[in-house]
Structure 1
Amino acid sequence: MSTLNKVQLINKHGMTVTLCDFGARILSIQVPSSKGELIETTLNLQNDEEILTDSAYMGAKCGRVANRISNASFKLNGQTFLLEANEPNKTLHGGPKGIGLRTWHTSPVTSGEGYQEVTFNIHSENGDQGFPGNMDISCIFRLNDDNSLTQRFVATSDADCPINICDHTYFTLGAEHLESLSLQVEADEYIPVDDQGIPSGQFLSVEGIMDFRKAKALVKVLPIKDYDECYRLNAAKNKVATLANNTTGLTLTISTDQPGLQVYTGNYLPQKHSAVALEAQGYPDAINQSAFKADIVTPDKPYARYVTYTFSS
């Protein structure tokens, strides 16, 4: 018997999104092909045990602060906050018990003209993983009849706190290996990091192996480089990235108001390079980097960000 609360959203074309309350996860996105057959576009966890023990954040919402925080600490308003570390001297994706590794409350599915919607909510108490403030976080999923899925992330807090919530879905577009896919990213610059994944605080040109401004077949670059990079997006609120399966013709377009896109090519998945995570998010370690602007939720300023995945064939 399942211990997880699972929800499905289905649009008029049969596109089906399966979600669950543990980590407000995307478990599956099935999209109709040009021939009308449903294609699984994500890398799936196969059962409840895999979901509950997953360490790759597959489909999870990461936070309070996604990506890495150096020295597992930060200063805000003259006060130093010490966080729970889950990597050597670092906090990754909100800590060892971040919101992606906890159970959220699920609201009933609602329907409107051309969409279905469901909201997941979680409360993070003051001091949770070391972060200040009692925080309430919502993730609102909306599946539209144009085969787009929008996630809106909203948070309120009774104290100032850095925040950076992202979705960590791994995409395959029906391919067994990334070598069948091509990627395009609207970014002239990326953020270099050290061997611990901590940024230098710089933005560098993507010229060369980092350049995805024009669609590039991953088969040409993956033998040379494993990617786990944050790109500085050129134009938020517009199309920022496109992933395409050149065999099936299935395409994913990403839109967001986030400033960055983490491109992770599944370098440490059990089957290396079997999927790619395209994580719309704020800049990594922004709270500790003077050159980066960190999102701060305050009692007077709620947090609100979104990402939209649009599929076509």
Structure 2
Amino acid sequence: MKIHIAFFGITFLLLATSCRQPDSYRLSVSQEYSVRKEDRSIDLFRLVNRNGMTIKVTNYAASLTDVSVPDRHGKFAHVVLGFDSVESYLGRHPKLGATVGRYANRIRNARFCLDGTTYQLEKNNKEHSIHGGSRGFNLQLFDTDTFYTQKDTAAVVFKYRSPHQEGGFPGNLDVSVAYKLTNRNEIIIEYTAVTDRPTVVNLTNHSYFNLSGCTTPVLQHTYMLWADSITRNDSIGIPTGELLPVAGTEYDFTSPLSAKARVDSMGKGYDINYKLRKSSGTPSLELAAVVTDSVSGRVLKAYTTEPGMQFYIPNSNMDYLTGHDGRRYGQYYGFCLEMQHFPDSPNHPQFPPTSLYPGETYRQTTVYKFETIGE
């Protein structure tokens, strides 16, 4: 009888243990790591949802440093290029996962006019301005405002004050960047900004995705972009002010296509702004892109309130980078879906405006949702 009782007790204990969700799979957010830099703290946070999807973010450049999601067989892998230590982000790298501002992308001649006043910006891209100057947001240490879990969402919020004339931009700009991970395998990035004098704002995230688990180039992924036109660029990559229909061109991803044949033909990657197809004129959250890796079965769906998206597959070889788990990256190892207003918008009144005035609030929401084929 005692044997039967003992067996029943052990069986009950095993059943209770097997039904309990593993600690690592509970919705959580925690500060994983912290180092000191010039008497300030660089923090690394780990967010986990109930499915085991994990992301990591740091207040250095308000960066997304890691995303781990399963393939069709449930095997987890890193799907953004990044480093295991926050110290590595202080060195040379192509803005991996960083928040980019105060003005993402290019401004011709590093100059714009707003309300009759001309502002001269720092020239950090030959005679032009790009990504807010040589000390843009991608090199700034944000403050960690708060981190929390609420219902089905874990969140971390970073804040930064961009001082008047930083990079040549007018106004003190107070920026908030919130990273949220939901139990629906969504990464939600919410941006807000306010200013104390008229200025221009264009923020984005500069993550390099690789759905293979960062093991192979991204050219074999299939891309479908919800866009019928691009902003035509001149020879230096700055919009002319015209829109170019993508139909029949190498920019046409209105149906799912691999990028490999086109990149092989062009001899280079992609670096172009798409005018997203929107159902209304208001800034609503709508689908912008679907990217699929048929080998792993991973799917990335991207949504945004922004009117444009910079599609970027860099041509440069990134083999100088040693990323997650000591992996060496290579050529065409990442793609970016940079949600944004158009490049050089302040100099093209026909483009969606990027001006921000005192009393107004800049808002942007971008969502990166991960699934597998068949979901």
Normalization by structure 1: what TM-score? 0.96
Tell me how far apart the structure 1 counterparts of residues 136 and 235 of structure 2 sit (CA, whole Å): 23
The structure 2 residue matched to 1:260, chosen from 277, 290, 308, is 308
Instruction: Give the structure 2 partner of residue 131 of structure 1.
Output: 169
Instruction: Give the structure 2 partner of residue 227 of structure 1.
Output: 270
CA offsets, 1:118-159, max 9 Å, x none? 100000111111111111000011100000010011000001
The structure 2 residue matched to 1:148, chosen from 186, 190, 193, is 186
Tell me how far apart the structure 2 counterparts of residues 29 and 19 of structure 1 sit (CA, whole Å): 9
Tell me how far apart the structure 2 counterparts of residues 277 and 5 of structure 1 sit (CA, whole Å): 24
Q: Quick check: 1:86 aligned with 2:134?
A: no
Matched length: 313
Tell me how far apart the structure 2 counterparts of residues 308 and 213 of structure 1 sit (CA, whole Å): 20
Tell me how far apart the structure 2 counterparts of residues 154 and 163 of structure 1 sit (CA, whole Å): 10
**RMSD of aligned residue pairs (Cα, Å):** 1.4
The structure 1 residue matched to 2:230, chosen from 181, 185, 190, is 190
Displacement of 1:42: 0.6
Contact 1:287/1:293 (<8 A) preserved: no
Q: Quick check: 1:172 aligned with 2:210?
A: yes
Tell me how far apart the structure 2 counterparts of residues 83 and 123 of structure 1 sit (CA, whole Å): 18
| SS across alignment from 2:349 | coil
| SS across alignment from 1:108 | strand
Unmatched tracts of structure 2, length 5 or more: 1-33, 37-41, 279-283, 319-329
Letter in 2 for 1:280: M
Unmatched tracts of structure 1, length 5 or more: none
Q: Quick check: 1:107 aligned with 2:150?
A: no
Displacement of 1:251: 0.3
Instruction: Give the structure 2 partner of residue 250 of structure 1.
Output: 298
| SS across alignment from 2:274 | strand
Q: Greater helix percent: which structure? A: 2
Q: Quick check: 1:292 aligned with 2:332?
A: no
Instruction: Give the structure 1 partner of residue 30 of structure 2.
Output: none
Contact 1:13/1:32 (<8 A) preserved: no
Q: Quick check: 1:280 aligned with 2:339?
A: yes
Displacement of 1:268: 2.1
| SS across alignment from 2:291 | strand
Contact 1:7/1:19 (<8 A) preserved: yes
Runs of 4+ in 1 over 4 A off after TM superposition: none
Letter in 1 for 2:117: Q
Counterparts in 2 of 1:21-170, with a 5 A limit?
21-170=59-208
Range moving further from structure 2, 151-160 or 49-58: 49-58
CA offsets, 1:252-274, max 9 Å, x none? 00000100110110212422211
